[in-house]
Amino acid sequence: MTANAEILNDIFEHLHSNPELSWEETETTAWLKSFIESRGVSARTFDDCTGLTAEIGQGHPVVAVRADIDALWQEVNGTFQANHSCGHDAHMTIVLGTFLELLENRDQLQGTVRFIFQPAEEKGTGALKMVEKGVVDDADYLFGMHLRPHQELGSGEFAPAISHGAARLIQGTIRGEDAHGARPHLNTNAVQVGAELVMAINGMHFDPMVPQSMKVTGFQAGGKSANIIPGNAAFTVDARAQTNEVMDSMISKFDRMIRMIADFHEIDITTEIKADMPAAVLNEEAAVVMEAGIQGALGSDACRPAIVTTGGDDFHFYTIKRPQVKATMLAIGCGLSPGLHHPDMTFDRSAIPDAVKVMSCAVMRALEKNN
């Protein structure tokens, strides 16, 4: 059964309608396993985490194709819920479509194709877990993918590589004591500390030739009693940089700033890194293979240069931890708007079957290249 548009749409509708958060993708994992094994292919799951792998063919080379499977937690129409607003539902659909296409032509495979369904990309820790499980230890190539917003690629356009920046998500706490609203001299107002934190971050400057940003993305302090000055608060910070070197500089200055504010107010401020995604190190050979896949499937008019974006993806941990793997990410133009992580994100679903054609072609090129 090949991956025609109707089958792909049914797959997408199911995955889109059943989002699950990072490390909680139990039903998603079970459904993917059932889908694959119903086609006569065994799937490998794990005792201590979600996610799975499956493979067809045999021997070397080994070409791996990865999809991320988790959803975001965000407010949608006034209700907080799991939501596939980053395109992972589409990524899973594309990888399953590639699985169906290559399964139909398995007698032509000159090696092994491994399908990796990775949990917890949004936490920045899923790829590291899959590396720990050895899923790319023997891989020659690794292909990922990501839908791109319309500002980066037009509908029907594809690029053979995505140069992500580094991303670091930080969770912090402010610890002090509450005080009466009439006695502000008896404590340090955690809200004021938060305001100082925002101003201090906005006042930090780094190499203007390297795209970067740092911002407070969450802050909670106080309760229902307006006459209590809160001494405690929790906050989150999102840091982005196009290079790992600038990210290291940003975090070093951030840490010094935190210590300075805490010392001045004589309070405790602690921080913890909740996700840490490195900037991409592109592999030219893998990008050349993916470019051949785009041109072979859709023609040269559909191919665009590599995308540079300040977004992050833990995909790049695979090559940092296993540098022998030649990896790249397919950038998929699909008219995506208003933007990634927007609760009402939409895209042109006709890009899905085209992406399946590209990925299937790229896999076949990679297998042929190493024989």
Under the banding of pLDDT at 50, 70 and 90, the label for residue 311 is confident
- DSSP output for 237-260: EEEEESSHHHHHHHHHHHHHHHHH
Global confidence as pTM: 0.84
DSSP-derived secondary structure letter, 322: S
Residue 23 DSSP label: T
Dump the DSSP string for 192-255: HHHHHHHHHHHT----TTS-EEEEEEEEEE--S-TTEE---EEEEEEEEESSHHHHHHHHHHHH
Q: Give me the DSSP letters along 45-58.
A: E-SSSS-EEEEEE-
pLDDT at 2: 57
**pLDDT above 80: residue 30:** yes
pLDDT at 323 over 90: yes
Domains of the chain, each with CATH number or no CATH: 5-165+280-369 (3.40.630.10), 166-277 (3.30.70.360)
Residue 355 pairs in a beta bridge with none
pLDDT of residue 1: 47
